[in-house]
Amino acid sequence: MLARDLGIPCDGRGARTKLYFSINAFIREWIAYLVIRRRLFIGVFALAFLFFLVRLLLLQIL
């Protein structure tokens, strides 16, 4: 995704890996994606938080 954003033509190839490494690599790459798209995820979580907060307040009133 980073190469595509930078306009670098590339082709990624996978290979067989051990399960213990795959889980670690998946978590590491997901965290890196969250850091790269930080503003998007902060906005999504803020909207979700506001939605649940409003819902909670409405349930308290009714």
pTM: 0.53
User: Is residue 39 included in any domain, yes or no?
Assistant: yes
User: Is residue 52 included in any domain, yes or no?
Assistant: yes
Determine the average pLDDT of the residues in 8-36. 89
Q: How many domains does the chain have?
A: 1
pLDDT at 18 > cutoff 90: no
User: Is residue 46 included in any domain, yes or no?
Assistant: yes
User: Is residue 32 included in any domain, yes or no?
Assistant: yes
Enclosing domain of residue 52: 20-62
- Mean pLDDT, all residues of the chain: 90
- Beta-carbon contacts of 33 under 8 Å, excluding residues fewer than 6 positions away, are 1
Please report how the helices 38-61 and 19-36 are oriented relative to each other, as an axis angle in degrees rounded to 10: 80
